[in-house]
Homo-oligomer: A and B are copies of this chain.
């Protein structure tokens, strides 16, 4: 995959995760969403910091203590380890493409 915005997967039940690069202590991943969100009763609670950048589409991100914000292309957020969070919505009418960098 030489372009992160081309040849996007078709809408499917699940989001599509693709590893782009891994190094000791860091992993870069592309995520493609088509309307998915994180279940309210199963938020993320990760043991590592994650930095996310929205590349295309739109999404809502709720982070414990910070509340919910709408993300548009170019928006980026650092989600510290063990900060409970969830994706509240993603665009239903177009793909939403995230870049995620996982640390540690």
Interchain nearest-CB distance for A91 vs B (Å): 17
Copies per assembly:
2
**Pair A25/B28 contact, Cβ less than 8 Å:** no
**Pair A75/B23 contact, Cβ less than 8 Å:** no
**Pair A28/B74 contact, Cβ less than 8 Å:** no
Main secondary structure of the interface of A (DSSP, over half): strand
- A4 CA to B99 CA, complexed, in Å: 13
Chain B residues closer than 8 Å to A103, beta-carbon distance: 23, 26
Interface positions, chain A 61-90, Cβ under 8 Å from B, are: 72-78
Interface positions, chain A 29-61, Cβ under 8 Å from B, are: 49, 51, 53, 55
Interchain nearest-CB distance for A8 vs B (Å): 10
Q: Taking CB as reference atom, which chain B residue is nearest A77?
A: B2
Given contacts A23-B49, A25-B23, A26-B23, contact A4 B74 (CB under 8 A): yes
List 4 additional A-B contacts (Cβ < 8 Å) besides A23-B49, A23-B104, A26-B26.
A2-B76, A3-B72, A6-B74, A21-B78
